[in-house]
A = this chain, B = another copy of it.
């Protein structure tokens, strides 16, 4: 039996958030419509955050209901990032059924990223998660800086395990372990995944790699060897890295799907249709796709 791997497409949110120029709502919508045709089962759509903080997401309340028109009938999950009760209120009114929440292993990162200690943020998140679960929403957790931090030298194993526990305590059904700055290596991935497997259920864990150093597919390969079955990725490799100018950000869905199919895994994703979605958004953002497979696929056509 072919093993199934779930891909969580984060291009419209995590990817676009790192693109400098604002992408028109109608282009985001067409991008997500094309993604909804590919066979992807989960597409992170947007985030309900302060528009002055993240202008790229300022159209969230306008975008989300329109997305439902073509995702709902296909049963595609459409999580949105929600940082606080105010964001949750908007999400609730728009019919959002799944939210994502963030924490980090590194307190310096947390402080610089959201201007709160991990503990302060957690206290608020308990309220948000409780309210979301009360509404029947699913909650997915992101744990940032699992494999390295731009501010702290080493991430302690304890901080990783504590971070996962905090997200599980919130009621998260799945936790996405983030290589936020793209510095993980495959031996490290194996070691940390083994550590996590000893303490938690690996079936609840996803990997979220950035391809900053071109090592994301090697890290995914190492994760697969350890039993991970869910990966986050961004169509065409959309997005960049705020910590290294000009560097790649999220690993490209195109690259991940190609790797998985070559290794004999099932993803449910149609490569031609994925290429259409990636081509469309690349034509709108005004730079070449960071995805090497995207370029090769295009060049071979």
Interface residues of A (CB under 8 A from B): 182, 185-188, 211-215, 217-218, 220-222, 241, 243-248, 252, 255, 258-259, 262-264, 290-293, 295-300
Instruction: Tell me which of B220, B244, B264, B300 contacts A300 (CB under 8 A).
Output: B244
Q: In the complex the two chains form, what is the Cα distance from A263 to B219 in whole Å?
A: 12
Residues of B contacting A222 with CB < 8 Å? 221
- Which among B185, B246, B262 is the interface contact of A299 at CB below 8 angstroms? B246
Q: A262 vs B179: C-alpha distance in the bound complex, in angstroms? A: 15
Residues of B with C-beta under 8 A to A221: 186, 218, 221-222
A300 to chain B: closest residue by CB: B244
Per the bound structure, the CA–CA distance linking A217 and B215 in Å amounts to: 6
Contact assessment for A296 and B218 in the assembled complex, using a CB-CB cutoff below 8 Å: no
Whether the Cβ atoms of A295 and B244 lie closer than 8 Å is yes
- Pairs A-B, 9 closest by C-beta atoms: A214-B292, A244-B299, A245-B299, A185-B262, A247-B296, A218-B218, A217-B218, A244-B296, A214-B255
Q: Do B263 and A187 have beta carbons less than 8 Å apart?
A: yes
Q: How far is the CA of A185 from the CA of B224 in the complex (A)?
A: 14
> What separation, in Å, do the CA atoms of A215 and B291 have in the docked complex?
11
A258 to B220 alpha-carbon distance, docked (Å): 17
Known contacts A185-B259, A214-B292, A246-B295, then 16 further A-B pairs from the complex at CB < 8 Å, ordered by chain A residue: A186-B221, A186-B263, A213-B255, A213-B293, A214-B214, A214-B291, A215-B255, A215-B262, A221-B221, A241-B299, A244-B297, A244-B300, A245-B298, A247-B292, A247-B296, A248-B296
Measured between beta carbons, the chain B residues less than 8 angstroms from A247 are 292, 295-296, 299-300
CB distance from A200 to the nearest CB of B (A): 25
Nearest-Cβ distance from residue A292 to partner chain B, whole angstroms: 3
Cβ distance A62 to chain B, nearest Cβ, rounded Å: 33
CA distance A248 to B297 in the complex (A): 11
